[in-house]
Amino acid sequence: MKRAAIKISILAGVLLLVCIACRVAMHNTYVAVLPAGQQDAMPGSLRINPISQDLVTQGAPEVRNERLQIPIQPQRPGEAYMSLEDGRGNSVGLRRFHVSRLGTVYDYTTGGFSGDFIALIANTAFYLAAAAIMFRAYREAKGPAFYAYGTIYAAGFSLFTLLTGLMMLEVTLRHFLHPYEYNMLTAYRAITSASWRFMMATAPMLLVFAGAMAVSNIELLRHERFRPQNVLGIGIALALAAGEALANVLYSRGFSGMTRAGRARETLCNVYATGFAYFECMLFGAVVCGLKAARHVPEANADYILILGCRFRKDGTLTPLLQGRVDRAIAFWKRQRELTGKTAALMPTGGQGPDETMAEAEAMRRYLLAQGIPEGSITTEDQSRNTYQNMEYSKKIIDGREPGARVVFATTNYHVFRSGVWAGLAGLPAEGMGSRTKWWYWPNAFMRECIGLMRNRIPQELALLVIMVVFFGMMSMALR
């Protein structure tokens, strides 16, 4: 993801240089477009009176695309005014321009400025290229490198930048085809409301996801007793639906009042949409990465196969959840022997909890022996208390025996991606594989894993969220 960030930064710099070069080539010329209502006053009868002749000069008016276009050339900084009269001397409009110290002409009526179309093209190219860069970063994240927070960002925000880029492409084309009806002020509002547009574009997919979460959670409650963590899916489904509904209410309500108050209200709406879109992107990225990790099958070339432990029954037998993990490891172990002839070491991991009769690793070892696995092919790690320690303590054992060994791990499908992240943090390069679980159990458990992932990076997540909120908030206040 760092390489992707560097590429995006270089891309932004290159596009900025392109905009500057185009501005220089255009000699700061700005083309003012008259509204359709002034079409009756054609160049033969229209009289243009530059009140501030020493600040700007205008070229010969031309009719293009059924609109009257007037080239404006800046002379020196200041506020310039231009009155328009028809052939009978009646006023048909007043245009106000601002000339900056750099020679940029800004049109207060339409929000246009020198090189605005080039800026729109560059902005569109930036978002579309950024989407391609992040999607490529996601696709190229393979093996142990796949299990990283950067992969979630690449997957989630590639969707955001793609949809925003397509929105910018629409804005650019509409401004090019209808420069007065779809002027730059309209384009600014489209840009600052990019998060809301993203929410609306992804609303159907998000509501389907929320409905599926609720259905699976209801089925979970039918099979298991009520616990707070067993209603997580319903809570998330309601939050997603309520978030979309609130956004529609905020943006659909009209406003009549002072310009500053209207600007503040629109900014608050955009800030809310930005926060929701950020959460949505992270959720999308986590779901995509989690599904891909759950379906992944490592290459049959492992030296060690870790089996991540969890609670077992009081009589020492394995629960269906834990048995599924061990069976998945056994299946991989047998398949590797058949394909390559290489025998890997099966390594059950997990210590003894305060209410357990033995270590989780020992319970799994006994099951492995009962399934016909030779004792010499089993190595246990029986001191760890959580997934991170599973990886950390296993790494110490493996490094002491066979440094640089190829490691894979087996766990339940919803737990693969997060376990891979823990392996990376423990310095253990490993790929995961998932065992299946009940369809009604998987979504709720997977959402717990997603929340657990995000909880580990609260400061970083808040920092990125604040950056996005400030960026779109400042754009709303400045460009409305």
Residue 34, by phi and psi: left (phi above 0), alpha (psi -120 to 50) or beta? beta
Residue 277, by phi and psi: left (phi above 0), alpha (psi -120 to 50) or beta? alpha
- Of 165, 172, 162, 125, the closest CA to residue 14 belongs to 125
- CA 349 from chain center: how many Å? 35
| 257: exposed, middle or buried (Cβ count in 10 Å: 0-12, 13-18, 19+) | exposed
Averaged pLDDT, 108-134: 88
Please tell me the pTM assigned to this model: 0.82
Q: Can you name the residues that pair with 30 across neighbouring β-strands?
A: 72
| 61: exposed, middle or buried (Cβ count in 10 Å: 0-12, 13-18, 19+) | middle
Q: Which amino acid, 88?
A: R
pLDDT in tens, 458-477: 777 777 777 777 776 666 65
- Of 127, 291, 281, 290, the closest CA to residue 205 belongs to 281
pLDDT in tens, 154-178: 999 899 899 989 999 998 998 888 8
- Of 239, 248, 255, 236, the closest CA to residue 273 belongs to 248
Averaged pLDDT, 35-46: 46
pLDDT attached to residue 37? 46
299 Cβ partners below 8 Å, 6+ apart? Answer: 431
Q: Can you name the residues that pair with 306 across neighbouring β-strands?
A: 347, 409
Report for 24-38, 94-108, 278-292, 361-375: range of highest mean pLDDT: 361-375
Strands (E), 129-209: none
**DSSP helix/strand/coil, 283:** helix
- Of 5, 112, 123, 133, the closest CA to residue 67 belongs to 112
pLDDT attached to residue 36? 42
pLDDT attached to residue 86? 61
Domains of the chain by start residue, with CATH: 29-107 (2.60.40)
Q: How far apart are CA 424 and CA 418, in angstroms?
A: 10
Averaged pLDDT, 388-397: 94
Q: How far apart are CA 407 and CA 344, in angstroms?
A: 9
**DSSP per residue, 193-220:** THHHHHHHHHHHHHHHHHHHHHHHHHHH
Averaged pLDDT, 255-273: 69
**DSSP per residue, 381-403:** B----SHHHHHHHHHHHHHHHST
| Other beta carbons within 10 Å of 118 | 18
- CA 474 from chain center: how many Å? 20
pLDDT in tens, 358-376: 999 999 999 999 999 999 9
Averaged pLDDT, 299-328: 92
